[in-house]
Structures are given as C-alpha cells and as structure tokens.
Structure 1
Amino acid sequence: MFKILLIEDDRALFQEIKERLSGWSYEVYGTPNFDQVMQQFTAVKPDLVLIDIQLPKYDGFHWCRMIRSHSIVPILFLSSRDHPMDMVMAMQLGADDFVQKPFHFDVLVAKIQAILRRVYNYNTEAIQLRTWCGATIDFERNLVTNEAGTIELSKNEIFILKKLIEQKNKIVSREDLIKSLWEDERFVSDNTLTVNVNRLRKRLDEIGLGHFIETKVGQGYIALEEESSYD
C-alpha cells in the first residue's frame, strides 16, 4: 500500500481527496501543523507528496524545495492558480507533475497511478547499470558518475535519460517521451516535458554531459554517444 502525504490547508478538499484515495487503497496522511511539514514528511516517509501552492506561512514552492534537498520522492502539485509560471516554477524546483484546480478526480488518480508505476516499477528491469559518454548510469539509485563527479537525478530526469540513451544517436519524439512518462498525453502540458528535459540537461552540465542531449526542433530529443552534431 502506497503512502501519500497530502499538504493541503482546505480541510474540506483534504477530506474529499483522502476519502477518495483511500478507496483506491492509498494511505493518505495530512499535515497537522503547517510550520512542521518536514517533520511530518520524515515521520510518514511517503511514497508520493501532493502539495498545494497556497499554504499558511510558507507556500508549496518552499516545501518542495525543502523536500527536494532531502529526497527524490515524487511530488505532484495541486493549485487553483492558473498562471503558467506556477507550473514552470514547480517543475524547475523538482516537481513531477502539476494538476490545476478544479480537477476531475479521475485525472488526479490517473496521474498518481502513472507516477507510482513509473517511479517504483520501471527500475526493476534486469539492466541497472549502463555506460554512456564515459559515464556510468545507475538506474536503481538514479546516479550518473564520471571523472567530474556524481550527480543524483530525479525520477523524471533518470527516466528521460534512460529513454534517450536506449535509442542513442536517434531522435526520440516528444510524443513518445510524453506517453512513456505520463501515459496519457491529454492530461499533460507540452511545456512540462520541455521543463523536465531542460532540468535534466542542467544537471548533466554539472559533470560536463549536458551538451550530449540535443533538441531537434519540431521533432524531439537525441542523446549523442559522441560529441558531434546530428541533423
């Protein structure tokens, strides 16, 4: 049974989400004190975090940043605000997805299920280690290591990298990546993938590998095996 930490100050909405998710056999925990979100996070050890943007004292962006400094647990934002920069900010801080309020509950469940399947099932494949551009990639621990050091990627980042290097030197379409990541592209903003890929490239830059991921405008992305350009 997966544990979900729901950080939501609207008590009526909290109860509704908790009851509905409990019907899907999820254990849902709340936050009794919004000054102590990290203490609750540590106590619960959730498999997924649902978090609102507008919260008492500190907003959801603050708590996302705090959680990401300690954990790569998947984070899904809920928000009644409709500014596009909210989604961009959430993704840049390490969120895995974003749901706009008011939402159809089936959409929320579909997104939760897709994230949980991707995060906790895909890395059971036989091949856990792979080399690429002189780096060793540990898919089980989400680590990329080369002479410049080691970086730890988020679940989305390691999944995107995995899909790209499985077809290295070949273009992987945006549509294929979206379907692989979120399973139903009808519920996903095209900008969500862009933000995730840019975040992956920025992390890879820390060990000198960012330029090996190229954008092919109007087509998709390509992971180069060697430092060269492909048309």
Structure 2
Amino acid sequence: MLFKIFIVEDDEMLLSLLENFLQKYGFETFCVRDFDTLMEDFRTFQPHLILLDINLPKYDGYEWCKQIRKNSNCPIIFISARDSKMDQVMALEYGADDFITKPFDYEITLAKIKSHLRRAFGTYATLSNQRIVEADGLQLNLDRLTLAWKSNTVELRNTEAKILDLCMTQIDCVVSRDQLLEKIWDDQAFVDENTLNVYIRRVRNKLDQLQLNGSLQTIRGEGYRLRSIWREIT
C-alpha cells in the first residue's frame, strides 16, 4: 500500500527536506504552498497522515487541525519549535495524535509516522484475527479502533483505545493514573498530567456518543473506574 503524507509547513527549506526524505522511503507526499486552497488540496489528495506546523500563514496549526478533523480521522502529527506543555496539550485538544519538537531527528520522525500508520490502518492483524475486548456487550476493536455498543459505533484514536483497553479489562475496578501513563506512552518525556486529562475527556466524549454518559468515573486521589452502568440500560 502506498501511503500518502500531507505536509503543512511554511519553511520552504524544511518542507523540501521532509519531502525528499519521505519520498526516499516510498511515501507519496503533498506539500502545501498555497494556504488559501489548503482544505481543497487536502480533500483532493486524501492523505493517510498529516505533518502540521503551528506557526503558519492565514491560520495557525490548531485551527487547521480543527478544520481537518471535521473531514478526516487520519493521524495528525504536529512538528513545531513551540515546545511548551501548553502547546502540546492544545494540539491534543484540537485532535492531534502526536507532537514532535524542532529541531527533530528524521529517523525518529520516520518511526513515529510508521507507527501511527500501522495503528490507524490495522496492519498489526488480519480481519480474521482481530483483537477485541468485550465487557458486558461493550466491544472494543483494537485493530479497527472502534468502540461499539448495541447498534452504535464510534471511531477512536489509538491512545483512546489504549485507555479503554485497560479500563474494560478491569471493569468496575479502579485504574490508577500511573497504570494509564505506563500503558499509553513509551516516550516518558511526553507525559504530563494535563495530557492524560485531555485523553480522559476524549474517552468520556466517545462514551457519551454511545449514550453511556457517566460510565467513566474519576476516583479522587486514586484514578478512574469504568462502571458497567449500561447493564441497566435496555
């Protein structure tokens, strides 16, 4: 499969370097140079993954991320010289999947791109051998990144699926924040309390979409508990 990467960066030298590097590894790329037609180009190119800077012409990366999320669930990786925790939290709030700070290592960036593509497009398992976690009728598909209850299904990001995996396998039990942080992130430098809070809010939103409001509880000073309150819902 030929994966397509959409690069949104206004530094022409860095743009060319990224494009050449990714093409060398077999990716098809589209580099945004006209920000007035960015969304039109995005819809035409239909990328599998997006690399997105923050400081950009017309709108900043957060706004572009928000607009893209209205049209696509593909992985978005921010690449920016802005490296504060608040910048990383804002990126996640707007729907990003990862954050790489400039200057960056090209090989590490390539590894992150490949990892997100594997997770997003299910190359870890075949359709006949999918990883599914079930708790009282609630089904989490870890390969397709979906959560289903009754006739309704919502799509998940990889980190949301990891949180639900841990909570569902310990249904009605308290899962500590440390357990969640250990399961979710390999790069411990990227972890902070605000980042976890962002993902917990996202998971609650997905549960709300399935009409399972209030099922993920905060246990003050301990962590979180996914309660199987849907048993009572008919």
Q: Which range, TM-score by smaller chain? A: 0.7 to 0.9
Flag structure 1 segments of 5+ consecutive residues without an equivalent: none
Equivalent in 159, 162, 165 of residue 162 of structure 1: 165
- Worse-superposed segment, 30-39 or 15-24: 15-24
- Worse-superposed segment, 81-90 or 67-76: 81-90
**Pairing of 1:74-89 with structure 2 (within 5 A):** 74-89=75-90
**Pairing of 1:1-231 with structure 2 (within 5 A):** 1-120=2-121, 121-122=123-124, 124=126, 126-127=129-130, 131-132=134-135, 135-137=138-140, 140=144, 142-146=146-150, 151-172=154-175, 174=177, 177-178=180-181, 180-189=183-192, 191-215=194-218, 221-226=224-229
Q: Take 1:160 and 1:23, find their aligned partners in 2: how far apart are those partners?
A: 35
1:135-168 CA distances to partner (integer Å, 9 max, x unpaired)?
Answer: 4555536243448x65443343234323432343
On the 8 A contact 1:111/1:182 being kept in 2, the answer is: no
- What is the DSSP-based 3-state SS (H/G/I as helix, E as strand, rest coil) of the residue aligned with 2:35? coil
Q: Take 1:6 and 1:66, find their aligned partners in 2: how far apart are those partners?
A: 15
Task: Check 1:141–1:113 CA distance in 2 against 1; reply closer, same or farther (3 A cut).
Answer: closer
- What is the DSSP-based 3-state SS (H/G/I as helix, E as strand, rest coil) of the residue aligned with 2:5? strand
**Misfit runs of 4+, over 6 Å:** none
Task: Check 1:187–1:92 CA distance in 2 against 1; reply closer, same or farther (3 A cut).
Answer: closer
On the 8 A contact 1:201/1:213 being kept in 2, the answer is: yes
Q: Take 1:172 and 1:118, find their aligned partners in 2: how far apart are those partners?
A: 24
- Worse-superposed segment, 21-30 or 133-142: 133-142
Structure 2: which amino acid aligns with 1:106? E
- Worse-superposed segment, 17-26 or 163-172: 163-172
- What is the DSSP-based 3-state SS (H/G/I as helix, E as strand, rest coil) of the residue aligned with 2:36? coil
Task: Check 1:124–1:157 CA distance in 2 against 1; reply closer, same or farther (3 A cut).
Answer: farther
Q: What is the percentage of aligned positions where both structures have the same residue?
A: 38
- Worse-superposed segment, 151-160 or 191-200: 151-160
Q: Take 1:96 and 1:134, find their aligned partners in 2: how far apart are those partners?
A: 28
Task: Check 1:112–1:179 CA distance in 2 against 1; reply closer, same or farther (3 A cut).
Answer: farther
Structure 1: which amino acid aligns with 2:201? N
On the 8 A contact 2:133/2:168 being kept in 1, the answer is: no
On the 8 A contact 2:146/2:153 being kept in 1, the answer is: no
Q: Take 1:70 and 1:38, find their aligned partners in 2: how far apart are those partners?
A: 9
On the 8 A contact 1:115/1:182 being kept in 2, the answer is: no
Structure 2: which amino acid aligns with 1:154? R
Aligned residues: 227
Flag structure 2 segments of 5+ consecutive residues without an equivalent: none
Structure 2: which amino acid aligns with 1:142? T
On the 8 A contact 2:133/2:165 being kept in 1, the answer is: no
Q: CA deviation at 1:64?
A: 0.9
